[in-house]
């Protein structure tokens, strides 16, 4: 399974903690991330992650293109609904694409936990 990881600036630490808490699952899948988030995740977890451009430079759109080409199975996008900055990735386009292509997209830790359960169930066959 191919998993995309994105986080707004104020949610990057929460995503790192989430990935560390679920590293046994993440280690078995192809991981993709926007630039800064991916760099931080690699440094903190040692996981192999394909990094796209940072969000302001179109990394989220690169992930969106993969969704449109059926190359991403799950998106975990920890967003900051209250203080997201204009330069940060916009979840709207990815939400639309995930609905069009039936790709699970988690925007917070609670939903991401449910998505992890989904991934683990798929792994078991």
Could you tell me the residue ranges of all domains in the chain?
2-124
Distance CA 12, CA 38 (A): 10
Is 54 labelled as part of a ligand binding site?
yes
Pairing state between β 105-106 and 49-51: unpaired
Please classify residue 55 by burial: count the beta carbons closer than 10 Å to its beta carbon, then call 0-12 exposed, 13-18 middle and 19+ buried: buried
Mind listing the pLDDT tens digit for each residue in 91-110? Answer: 889 999 999 999 999 999 99
Determine contact, residues 112/106, Cβ cutoff 8 Å. yes
Regarding pTM above 0.85, the answer is yes
Which position among 60, 73, 80, 123 bears the catalytic label?
60
- CATH fold group of domain 2-124: Rossmann fold (3.40.50)
List C-alpha distances in Å: 98 to 1, 21, 48, 69. 15, 25, 24, 12
Asked if 60 is an active-site residue, the reply is yes
Mind listing the pLDDT tens digit for each residue in 30-89? Answer: 999 999 999 999 999 999 999 999 988 999 999 999 999 999 999 999 998 887 676 666
């Amino acid at each position: 399974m191919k998993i995309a990881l994105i986080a707004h600036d104020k949610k990057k630490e929460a995503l790192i903690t989430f990935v560390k808490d679920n590293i046994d699952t993440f280690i078995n899948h192809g991981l993709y991330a926007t630039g800064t988030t991916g760099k931080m995740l690699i440094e903190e977890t040692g996981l192999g992650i394909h990094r796209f451009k940072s969000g302001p430079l179109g990394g989220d759109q690169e992930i969106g293109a993969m969704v449109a080409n059926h190359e991403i199975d799950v998106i975990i996008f920890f967003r900051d609904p209250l203080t997201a900055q204009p330069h940060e990735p916009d979840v709207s386009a990815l939400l639309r694409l995930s609905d069009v292509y039936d790709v699970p997209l988690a925007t917070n830790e609670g939903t991401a936990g449910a998505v992890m359960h989904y991934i683990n169930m798929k792994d078991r066959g």
